[in-house]
Amino acid sequence: MSLDNIVSKIEGILRSKTKQGFVGIWEDEHKMIAAAHEARKAGCTKFDAITPFPMHAVDEAIGLKRSYIPWVTFIFGTAGCLFGIWFTWWTSAVDWPIIIGGKPMMSFPAFIPVIFECTILLAALSSVGALLFICGLPKVDPPVIDPDLTSHKFAIFVPEDDTFYDTQKLEKIFKDHGATDTRKTEF
Amino acid sequence: MGHSHDTPVDVKDPGTLQVSSKLKTLYSVLMAIGVLAFVVTLASGNAERAWHAYLIGLFYTVSLALGGLFLTSIHHLTRAGWSVNVRRFFEAFTSYLPWAAGMAIILLIFGAGHLYEWLHKEAVESDPLLQHKASYLNQTFFWIRTIGFFGLWIYFSRVLVNGSLKQDQTGDASISERLGKVAIPCILIFALSYSFFSVDTLMSLEPHWFSTIFGVYTFAGLFQSTIAFTILVIAYLTAKGRLNGFVNENHLHDLGKFLFAFTVFWAYIAFSQYMLIWYANLPEETIFFEPRSHGTWGYVSVALILFKFIVPFLALLPQWAKRSLNHLVAVSFLILIMQFVDLYWLVYPNVGKEHNLVFGITEVFVFLGFMGLFIFAVSRFLSKHSIVAYRDPRIAESMHHHVVY
């Protein structure tokens, strides 16, 4: 396989999978949140909000459920702990037993730091991994709806496969709540 | 994460706590059984046991009061917003300090001789190690330290609390600024003095032993138990309907995170102390753990690991657990009981010969007596002052506190 092939394959993986949909853009975040509540009432469930900074009320407004990352952390942390116990036992008491300081081969107090680190390592790496996986990161070419969305504007994007997708009704909801711009777009 | 709100909110005075007759009965009964158990044990010629029980009660409640002083200082130092609505409880805890000083002086005058080997001339004369430590471990310096520490603690708690109470009257925002500066020396002095206080009162029970991490160990217990007690106070006032709009599940979430963090911290410090001593295996250090790892004491040690770390750790791990008052109350009770067991574990192997486990009604009742006095002091403070520092300049942040993580 040539280098070009490999590069284009990686690029293909990193390229974002976009959806067609309908977007509303606001300059006032409170109006955007009100519109998000309204869109949810209308039946949207898969829509997303794009804001330049994290906002508390948004997760509630778009009905965001808690992610499953804590479970990944817990399960991998437990796995790391068990691995640490097995690994310290296997290396120090089975495969290459050496008496150190007159302590027993399997000395928990001495191994707890190692077991602890294994727990933390697996829990942390798996959490970051799960986060990247859920968010589809890294992306090389995220579509730009509006460059101001990273500075002072707020948007709601409703994908076309949402449970409620009626551009005319959505446009009315968005405009009624003070959207400065509404249009079909890709995200 | 805090909100920034430009418009100041006008918060109504939540008023003071009307101490119900039930609460009055509770602390009166607790104090009465404490005094009774103590006197009966003394009268039956068991002075050693009575004073060791007294020491546990004193150290436990002094730690709660100092936990209040420490958390108040941290609040001012970091200019925290979220904790404005719970800070008054921390301040209330410090009102116990003058009472504690009185109890400590009683201990110095009448009890210290029953507790500390190094106060006896004959013991020091026959022991080169104690002679070596005599420049620190001697009666005069011990008295100066103890009285000096209480003086400093009472002084700083007065300055911090009076400033906060004055703000209730005037609403003067510059007071918060000033208290932020007071908190700097306060926290430094707290760190040193509490560490020395722990060494003086607990570590010197076995004067041959030493552990440089000991002050951190007792501090971990202090933080854990103070947060647990704060949660109980909040639960009590919530049940009375007094905290509507002031303390919600977001404040609980943050307190729960503190409780969780310092449960882990306690285990971390306890293990750090144990592992180094276990590894080095030096006789002058292992004398502490040796009696605590056999027989009944061994079970107490295992119980500490299980119920002061593993059970609260798992119980506080999920997010919902830190946002549910009932759940937090159950965990807080467990932690407060285990804090007692922890102090019992530190103090009691020195009682009696052969390190046998001595336990009975005396230990429980004398401890409950101190708790009665502490509850009395806290409820008296809250019955005189608003239960929330409602004119703090950062109160808007606390009223709208919202935690997402």
List the single best residue of A56, A65, A99, A111 to mutate versus B (max B Cβ within 10 A). Answer: A56
| Token couple for B327 | 């759940």
Q: What are the chain B neighbours of A112 within 8 Å (beta carbons)?
A: 271, 275
Q: Compare all CA atoms of chain B with the CA of A64 and give the residue at the minimum distance.
A: B404
State whether the Cα torsion A155-A156-A159-A165 is positive or negative.
Answer: negative
Q: Compare all CA atoms of chain B with the CA of A107 and give the residue at the minimum distance.
A: B279
- Cα three-residue angle B124-B140-B199, rounded to 5 degrees: 70
A182 and A25 Cβ atoms separated by less than 8 Å:
yes
Which residue type is seen at B146?
A: T
Band of residue A18 on the pLDDT scale cut at 50, 70, 90: confident
Band of residue B8 on the pLDDT scale cut at 50, 70, 90: low
Q: Does B1 contact A56 at a Cβ distance shorter than 8 Å?
A: yes
Distance of CA A102 to CAs A105, B69, B236, B328, Å?
Answer: 9, 46, 53, 44
Three state DSSP letters for chain B: CCCCCCCCCCCCCCCCCCCCHHHHHHHHHHHHHHHHHHHHHHHCCCHHHHHHHHHHHHHHHHHHHHHHHHHHHHHHHCCCCCCHHHHHHHHHHHCCHHHHHHHHHHHHHHHHHHHCHHHCHHHHHCCHHHHHHCCCCCHHHHHHHHHHHHHHHHHHHHHHHHHHHHHHHHCCCHHHHHHHHHHHHHHHHHHHHHHHHHHHHCHHHCCCCCCCCHHHHHHHHHHHHHHHHHHHHHHHHHHCCCCCCCCCHHHHHHHHHHHHHHHHHHHHHHHHHHHHHHHHCCHHHHHHHCHHHCHHHHHHHHHHHHHHHHHHHHHHCCHHHHHCHHHHHHHHHHHHHHHHHHHHHHHHHHCCCCCCCCCCHHHHHHHHHHHHHHHHHHHHHHHHCCCCCCCCCCHHHHHCCCCCC
Read off the pTM. Answer: 0.90
d(CA A165, CA A47): 10
Domain-embedded: residue A123: yes
Domain ranges in chain B are: 45-399
d(CA B342, CA B228): 15
A with B: how many residue pairs have Cβ under 8 Å apart? 25
Give residue-wise pLDDT tens across range B221-231.
999 999 999 99
Nearest Cα to Cα of residue A185 among A153, A148, A163, A157:
A157
Q: Kindly state whether B7 is in contact with chain A, defined as any CB-CB distance less than 8 angstroms.
A: no
| Token couple for B349 | 């192997």
- pLDDT over 70 at B2, yes or no: no
Domain-embedded: residue A22: no
A2 and A133 Cβ atoms separated by less than 8 Å:
no
Which helix (H) or strand (E) element contains residue A170?
A: helix A167-176
Give residue-wise pLDDT tens across range A25-77.
989 888 888 888 888 888 888 888 989 988 878 888 888 888 899 999 999 99
Calculate how close chain A gets to B404, using CA atoms only, in Å.
Answer: 7
Domain range enclosing A122:
69-135
Which residue type is seen at B132?
A: H
Band of residue B405 on the pLDDT scale cut at 50, 70, 90: low
Calculate how close chain A gets to B132, using CA atoms only, in Å.
Answer: 30
Give residue-wise pLDDT tens across range B254-270.
999 999 999 999 999 99
Domain-embedded: residue A169: no
ipTM of this predicted structure:
0.82
Domain-embedded: residue A75: yes
Q: Kindly state whether B3 is in contact with chain A, defined as any CB-CB distance less than 8 angstroms.
A: yes
Closest residue to A112, CB basis, from B271, B402, B404: B271
- pLDDT over 60 at B158, yes or no: yes
Domain-embedded: residue A119: yes
Calculate how close chain B gets to A11, using CA atoms only, in Å.
Answer: 33
Q: Does A70 contact B274 at a Cβ distance shorter than 8 Å?
A: no
* Chain A contacts to B (CB-CB under 8 A): 54, 56, 59, 66, 70, 74, 101-103, 109-110, 112-113
d(CA A169, CA A162): 14
Q: Does A109 contact B319 at a Cβ distance shorter than 8 Å?
A: no
Collapsed DSSP state (helix, strand, coil) of residue B272 = helix
A160 and A20 Cβ atoms separated by less than 8 Å:
yes
Domain-embedded: residue A5: no
Band of residue B9 on the pLDDT scale cut at 50, 70, 90: low
| Token couple for A128 | 């970051």
Q: What is the mean pLDDT of chain B?
A: 93
d(CA B218, CA B342): 9
Q: Kindly state whether B5 is in contact with chain A, defined as any CB-CB distance less than 8 angstroms.
A: no
Closest residue to B274, CB basis, from A101, A109, A113: A109
Q: What are the chain B neighbours of A75 within 8 Å (beta carbons)?
A: none
Cα of A180 vs its chain's centroid, Å: 29
Lowest mean pLDDT, pick from A122-126, B174-178, B352-356, B377-381: B352-356
Residue indicated by tokens 């707890």: A112
Closest residue to A56, CB basis, from B275, B318, B402: B402
Q: How many domains does chain A have?
A: 1
Q: What are the chain B neighbours of A102 within 8 Å (beta carbons)?
A: 281
- pLDDT over 60 at B7, yes or no: no
Q: Does A109 contact B318 at a Cβ distance shorter than 8 Å?
A: no
**Per-residue model confidence (pLDDT) at position B5:** 46
d(CA B219, CA B214): 9
Q: What is the mean pLDDT of chain A?
A: 89
Collapsed DSSP state (helix, strand, coil) of residue B110 = helix
Q: What are the chain B neighbours of A54 within 8 Å (beta carbons)?
A: 1, 404
A68 and A75 Cβ atoms separated by less than 8 Å:
no
Domain-embedded: residue A184: no
A153 and A25 Cβ atoms separated by less than 8 Å:
yes
A146 and A153 Cβ atoms separated by less than 8 Å:
yes
Q: Does B279 contact A101 at a Cβ distance shorter than 8 Å?
A: yes
Q: What are the chain A neighbours of B275 within 8 Å (beta carbons)?
A: 109-110, 112-113
Question: Which chain B residues in 283-322 lie under 8 Å from chain A, judged by CB atoms?
Answer: 317-319
Domain-embedded: residue A77: yes
Collapsed DSSP state (helix, strand, coil) of residue B96 = coil
Closest residue to B275, CB basis, from A56, A102, A109: A109
Continuous H helices in B202-310? 214-239, 249-280, 283-289, 295-304
d(CA B189, CA A11): 59
Of the two residues B358 and B301, the one the predictor is more confident about is B301
Q: How do the residues of chain B divide into helix, strand and coil, expressed in percent and rounded to 5?
A: 75, 0, 25
